[in-house]
Amino acid sequence: MFTPSEILKKVRELEIKSKRLTRHIFTGEYHSAFKGRGMSFREVREYAPGDDVRFIDWNVSARFNHLFSKLFEEERELTVILLIDISASSLFGTVHASKKDIITEICAVLAFSAINNNDKVGAILFTDKVEKYIPPKKGREQALYIVREMLTATPKRKGTKLGEAIRFFNSSIRQKSIAFILSDFLDEKFDDALKVAAKKHDITGIKVYDKMDMQLPEAGLIEVQDAETGETIWADTDDYLVRKNYHDNFFSSTENCKTVFLKAGCDLLHIRTDEDYVKVLKKFFIGRSKPA
């Protein structure tokens, strides 16, 4: 665990990095990627050639014997909710960083992107139950609080139940929200909950995985433990079939996850712990910004 001074230092580092990314890389992309709640009336002004005739205010025009148009603006305020997997498997990482490290950085970037756009941001930290709920609020202190809670989280449980977290989110957040689910998705029983939540909310999954989640090294006989169940087995990694089955299981699980998100009408991103998550997020934001 981090000491109090180490926590403050890490929070500050993540704030600086996130603000730099938000300012120099995601400027405009985040704003364009997610739509507000609709259009609200702003003011009436004199009609100008090219104005949409549907927005002529006939009452005001009759009063002044001159055409006037209604002006509208997009209601930009959004609510962003981060559903964050803090189960035992998130601690795994072999190359650049653990899955938890990458998830924490991505959450910091998303939180500061929201705050920078004057949006509310909240978080749900979960294992096989909801461990902590941070109601959405605006402001820098809220983003810092979320980052600090992620760094210091000591989950009571080890397993993963995505369905529990998604159902809690759907029942707790009444207004339409932007939600990001950050997990390695080592749970396949969340399709029904996702379908229900996706009818009301704009949901994006971010699957964070490690290189060794995908393939075993040729390292002879090794002891392998499931971080969530504690089950231990011995595996002969020099055996081609053992490595192939491990590889095939990973891709089978990945394809299942893709199918669940596709059927629910949600986006799903894949980020490996040794890859540049900034490029993946930027590409996603730009893709969301383009008209269909």
- Say if residues 102 and 208 touch (Cβ distance below 8 Å): yes
Distance CA 45, CA 4 (A): 56
Q: Please classify residue 254 by burial: count the beta carbons closer than 10 Å to its beta carbon, then call 0-12 exposed, 13-18 middle and 19+ buried.
A: middle
CA–CA distance, 150 with 253 (Å, rounded to integer) = 26
Cα within 13 Å of Cα(130), Cβ side? 17
Domains, the chain = 4-31+78-289 (3.40.50.410), 38-75 (no CATH)
Percent helix, strand, coil in the chain, to 5, is 45, 25, 30
Q: CA-to-CA distance for 186 and 253, rounded, in angstroms?
A: 8
Cβ-Cβ contacts under 8 Å for 207 (sequence gap 6 or more): 183, 184, 185, 254, 257, 268, 269, 270, 271
Tens of pLDDT, residue by residue, the chain (292 residues) = 567 787 788 888 888 888 888 776 666 666 667 765 445 556 788 888 888 888 888 888 888 888 888 775 455 578 999 999 999 888 776 777 888 989 999 999 999 888 888 889 999 999 999 999 999 999 999 999 999 998 888 888 888 899 999 999 999 998 889 999 999 998 878 999 999 999 999 999 999 998 888 888 888 887 777 777 778 888 888 888 988 988 898 899 999 999 999 999 999 999 999 988 888 988 888 887 765 5
- CA distances, 254 to each of 40, 248, 274 (Å): 42, 10, 18
